A = this chain, B = another copy of it.
Amino acid sequence: MSKAGDDEGVPGGRGEPADGKTPSKLSAPSSTPGWGKVSCPCCASERVEPLVLVKLGQKVIPETKRWLIKLIRAPQKEGGAGLLAHPGEDATGNIIVLSAPRCTLLRATEELGLCKIYRNGEMEAFAYDDRDNFRDSDNMEVFLTSAERQYIIKYELDGLRAQKDLRIPGMLDSCTLQRRDNIWQKLGAAGVIVDTFPLHNPGKLKDLSEAWYAGNQLAQPLDKVNEYFGSSMAFYFSFLDFYTWSLLPPAILGIFIAYFSREVQREMLQSVSGSQAGEVQDDPEPLISGHMLQAVFSMLWSTVFMEMWKRRRASLSYRWGTLNLAERFAEPRPGFHGDLGVNPVTGRVEPLFPEWKRDLRMALVSVPVVGLFLGLVVLGMMCFYWAEARVQQLHKDWDSMISQALLYTPSVLHIVYTNMLATVYKTVATSLTEYENHREESAYENHLTGKVLVFTFFNNFAVLFHIAFFKQDVTLLRKRLASLLIITQLVNQVTEVVIPFLVDRFISAPHRAENKDDPEEDKFRNQGTLPPFPGLFAEYIELLVQFGYLSLFSCVFPLTAILLLLNNLTEIRSDAYKVCKLFRKPFYPPVASMGVWQHAFEVLSFVSVVSNCWLLLLSPRVQELSQEAEMTGSNLLMGAVIVEHVLILVKVIMAALIPDEPDWIRKKREHIEYTSMQALRQQKLNVQES
């Protein structure tokens, strides 16, 4: 916590370097058990910032802990992690606090391919040997973001591999490490390490939360979020922000339509009241109904929105230094396995796994299994409808208490079935992705997310699609959509924030009451009692589902956009509160985009054309008009198909024409390409001469 740039006072026993001597044991880099002496000359820093906490199993004996600390402190050349480790209160306690010396941080920055500000003010890929020319490279707490420093520790720990066959000291003989085993994974499996999580910095967190959700400010402090939580989180909130403001045009249009179109008002009354009361056919409707306007607008809007977001993403990624990450060139992720060989790209010896084998596994195992589960969802839905029809029939025939009770059975069974399926599927998806054996963490994440995403989305929309395409009942669809929009959003906000808040405040917090005079260790330990952050999947899928409601079915319920806009304005705050207060700080690697979610939103934007055209075709107004014009069903359908094809064509052309990155980023990227081309030529020559 002893932070150089931290001007505001944070209560608690912190080791202020200015104070000369150190009130807390944790910040004293002097004697054992304390921070280990740093061996490299460049890292002679007085202050050490506690970054990551490692929690050991209860049964771990001091011998094992000493061995582990030694391993963490050992230089990377000798197979260690090159980190700083503090044994907490004493050598017998079950925590280790980790930090990283400057040289380890800088080397990892180069390996990860992060860009930092060069002395000429441009972002350039960081190079360790050239470190003195990067701005602030002498002050790690300014040079790297807090999230980057913590991620680098995880990266180094994950990279620990046994140099030779080894028995873990103080453990049973069964716990041995083979050569090139991933040590951190093995120790986790053996129960030596229970938990590894980054530590919150209360001072910074307070600053962040004040700028983020405590006040009434409209803009989010995205750079600060990136600084504290890392770029994955920052990209989520940037997207949420961008998306929310992009909802303004459809929201305004929706309000206009709801205000001016009598037809829409009537329908909305119906869908809310459930009655057919408003049915008063009075004056002639305009030829182009509000629904059509809304549908065409929302179809084109979604493409413009996605393309503009891509440009925003490129700017943010440049700003946060993640534009040319070098994950492909770094060490493979811990779970990756394969035969040892020379990587043809980097020339390093590491496990290799042929691409075609992975492709084969995906094609022959993953795809059929995912298909099977999607089939099970459909089967479940069909069984549900069949069973419901049967019990309805039964109830009519018998009309007894038993048959009355039976009426609820199909729904209950279906809910149980769906939930079980989802749980099983998540496990299966993880094993499948593990089996696919991806080399990069991001590829693993994207494939896992992709699998779960398809299933979840299918699960969410199966009923709506069934109503729209098979039952062809627009009124029912409108009712469902309205209730989903209002109820699901409310339920989500409650389950996501209110319940964790209450649990935290009234159940967990009393056990965690902090005292100013508590040793630093106890405060760290307390952070471990918070639940781990469940990840951004739930947040993204929520956005995707609402985007689905908006784009797929917007034409039946024009107020969707305004409802979502209002929901998201609170969502931003509640999500921010959640990540800041209710969970442990998560580890997030630096990323350049939102990964597979980007594609999911784009696919949805194209599917929306199909569904909107179909819904317009079903809409009573269009049916009426076609009857007046004496069009046959075929002609009407043909018209809808032509409109659909034209709209898809327009969307494809728009997507192709709007460049994915702003002009200035393209120039910078090309400049980097040009200079690296030049440098490559130069280097070959230098090698030749020397």
Show the binding face of A for B, using Cβ within 8 Å: 110, 113, 124-125, 127, 129-130, 133, 326, 328-329, 344-346, 355-356, 610, 632-634, 637-638, 641, 645, 663, 667-668, 670-672, 674-686, 688
Contacts and interface: CB of A to CB of B under 8 A. Distances in A.
Nearest to A324: B677
A679 B345 CA distance: 14
A641 B609 CA distance: 14
A633 B663 CA distance: 51
Contacts of A355: 663
Contact of A641 (B641, B667, B684, B685): B641
B667 A676 contact: no
Given A345-B671, A634-B633, A671-B344, A682 B685 contact: no
A356 B663 contact: yes
B676 A676 contact: yes
A573 to B, nearest CB: 38
A676 B674 contact: no
9 contacts: A127-B681, A127-B682, A328-B670, A346-B671, A356-B663, A675-B680, A676-B676, A676-B680, A679-B684
Given A125-B680, A679-B679, A680-B680, 13 more contacts: A125-B681, A129-B682, A129-B685, A329-B674, A345-B667, A637-B637, A637-B638, A637-B641, A676-B676, A676-B679, A676-B680, A678-B683, A682-B683
Given A634-B633, A688-B130, A610 B645 contact: yes
Q: How many copies does the complex hold?
A: 2
Given A676-B677, A677-B329, A680-B125, A686 B686 contact: yes
A668 B343 CA distance: 11
Most buried by B among A663, A681, A685: A681
A678 B667 CA distance: 21
A344 B675 CA distance: 11
Given A634-B634, A663-B356, A683 B683 contact: yes
A633 B636 CA distance: 11
Contact of A688 (B125, B133, B356, B676): B133
A655 to B, nearest CB: 13
B670 A679 contact: no
Contacts of A345: 667, 670-671, 674
Contacts of A683: 675, 678-679, 682-683
